[in-house]
Each structure stands twice: as structure tokens, then as C-alpha cells.
Amino acid sequence: AVAAAHAAFHGWSGTPVGERCQVMFCFKEILEQHFDELAQMIVDEHGKTMPEARGDVRRGIDCVEYACGAPSLMMGRTLPRIAVSSSFSREQKDGSPEIPLDSALERVPLGVCVGITPFNFPIMVPLWMWPMAVACGNTFVLKPSEKVSLCALRKVELAHEAGLPDGVLN
């Protein structure tokens, strides 16, 4: 799984953030379409009541929606003329002007991320983690609880249906 995520990282991180978020928008819509199925899966696999399961799915979808805003969250910033180079005085010996230094902050993907999730919120907790990591250009390895593994497998299937490339989510 880590090797697949590593192999997919270069291509995925080079995909424009807007395109990555289009996959997240599609994934959110697919989750909405499968809302009842996912809630029933939690009831069957975990044993939660239906209202609890529906809340788990709803909060998970909310997290995906938040990840859809990654383009604005990833914006960097620049600060022009924060200092003058220390090797130059305000005016150089030849009378030429100072050389200013600018500062820039750029947010870049980190690489392969991993999430180890508990059994108690099988939809919500994983969706706290991987949608934002993936929208920001990282790849992800999800290790769900073995007690609720069907919920995790179904989410991954739906993410691939939304257009997530192989190796981005494992």
C-alpha cells in the first residue's frame, strides 16, 4: 500500500488543486447518493442505532465538503521587501540602491500520509483524515479497524468511482 501511494504521489501532487478538488466534489455527491446504504452498513457492521449511524455519515460528508475548499486553504502569501540583504548597506559604495529581500510562503504536498482509525466512527473518522490530505496533493494509506473494514472498503470504492486515481488512496 505504501509503495502504491509513493508511486502515485508524483503524478497526484502535480495535478492542479482545482482538479483534485473536483474529484472531492464528485465524491461528496456520491456519498450523498449512498447515504442510506452507508448508514445501514454501519448499523450492520458496528451495531450502532440508525440515528447514530446517520450522524456518523453526515459528519463524514461534512468533512469531505470542507476538503473541497482546499484551493483557498492552500493559498500561500508573499511579503515584499521584508529586509535588506545584510551584505549590503542602504546604499552600496557605487551609489546603487539597496537590494531588498522578499518572503514567500508556499504550501506543498508532504508525500504519503497514513491514518489508523478506530472502530467507533467508521465513516466519520477516516473522512476527517484522508479527503483533506488527498485534496492537498498527498497520497494516503488508510488502516481501518478490522472490526469495521467493510465500511472502509466501500468508501474507497466510492472514491475511485468519483475519479480518484489508483494509488492515491490505499
Tens-place pLDDT, residues 99-149: 677 787 777 899 999 999 999 999 999 999 999 999 999 999 999 999 999
Summary mean pLDDT of the chain: 90
**Can you give the pLDDT at residue 86?**
54
Burial label for 151, CB within 10 Å (0-12, 13-18, 19+), is buried
**Can you give the pLDDT at residue 80?**
81
**Can you give the pLDDT at residue 92?**
57
Q: Which residues contact 44 (CB under 8 A, 6 or more apart)?
A: none
The amino acid at 146 = E
Helix 35-46 vs helix 149-161: angle between axes, to the nearest 10 degrees?
Answer: 160
- Tell me what percent of the residues of the chain surpass a pLDDT of 70: 90
pTM above 0.95, yes or no: no
**Can you give the pLDDT at residue 94?**
62
Is pLDDT at 47 greater than 90 in this prediction?
Answer: yes
Q: What is the mean pLDDT of residues 33-53?
A: 96
Q: What is the mean pLDDT of residues 144-159?
A: 94
Is pLDDT at 91 greater than 90 in this prediction?
Answer: no
- Do residues 107 and 137 touch, judged by C-beta distance below 8 A? no
Distance CA 114, CA 158 (A): 19
**Can you give the pLDDT at residue 104?**
79
- Do residues 93 and 111 touch, judged by C-beta distance below 8 A? no
